[in-house]
Amino acid sequence: MWLKPKAVLFPVIFASMASVAYANAVWPALYVVDSHFRFWYVAIIGLFLEAGVLRFGLIPDIKKALFVSFMGNILSGTAGIYILVFGMVGWHLVVDIFVPGSFALFNKMATIGLMLIGSVLLETLAVRGIWKYPIWKTLPLLILGNMLSYGVIVADLFVSGG
């Protein structure tokens, strides 16, 4: 076997620890991820909100709607969250030239918006790839479900100073 399980397990565990990302630099996307980890119940609430939205607009069976929401969120919440966080570094490399400060209000709002769009796209692609639901029907429903979930994170970041 060309790849040993321990060689894979260590980086996965290491990368899954949110505190590791705080070692040398901080940018707003890390706060969004930290909110995801602190507010684990947001993910659960988000699953039910998205499942309800999917059931209302696309999938008549609530169990299947919950399963579809769960699978989309698994992709978005595991690999996707790190793709989005580190993708935002690219944003700051370019935009911070024009907007002074990574934590300027514009950058905070852009971070939340771009991460919302990214997670919705990842979930939509997952749902499309697995169940072949049309993107034009799935995308608006997942946008609504994710906006409801991100609303709690936004409240924490901006209202209580998160």
Mean pLDDT of 24-42: 70
Would you say residue 63 has pLDDT above 90?
Answer: yes
Q: Is 157 left (phi over 0), alpha (psi -120 to 50) or beta?
A: alpha
Q: CA nearest 64: which of 50, 76, 46?
A: 50
Q: Which of 150, 24, 21, 37 is nearest to 86 (CA)?
A: 21
For 149, half-sphere exposure in the C-beta direction (CA atoms, 13 angstrom radius) is: 33
Using the predicted structure, report yes or no on whether residue 108 has a pLDDT greater than 60. Answer: yes
Model confidence over 127-160: pLDDT tens digits? 999 999 999 999 999 999 888 887 776 776 677 6
In what helix (H) or strand (E) does residue 20 lie, and over which residues does it extend?
none
Give yes or no for residue 67 having a pLDDT over 90: yes
Is the pLDDT confidence value at 124 over 60?
yes
Confidence at residue 150, expressed as pLDDT on a 0 to 100 scale = 76
Region 101-128: mean pLDDT is 89
Locate tokens 């769960």: which residue? Answer: 70
- pLDDT greater than 60 at residue 22: no
Residues of the chain by 3-state class (helix, strand, coil), percent to 5: 80, 0, 20
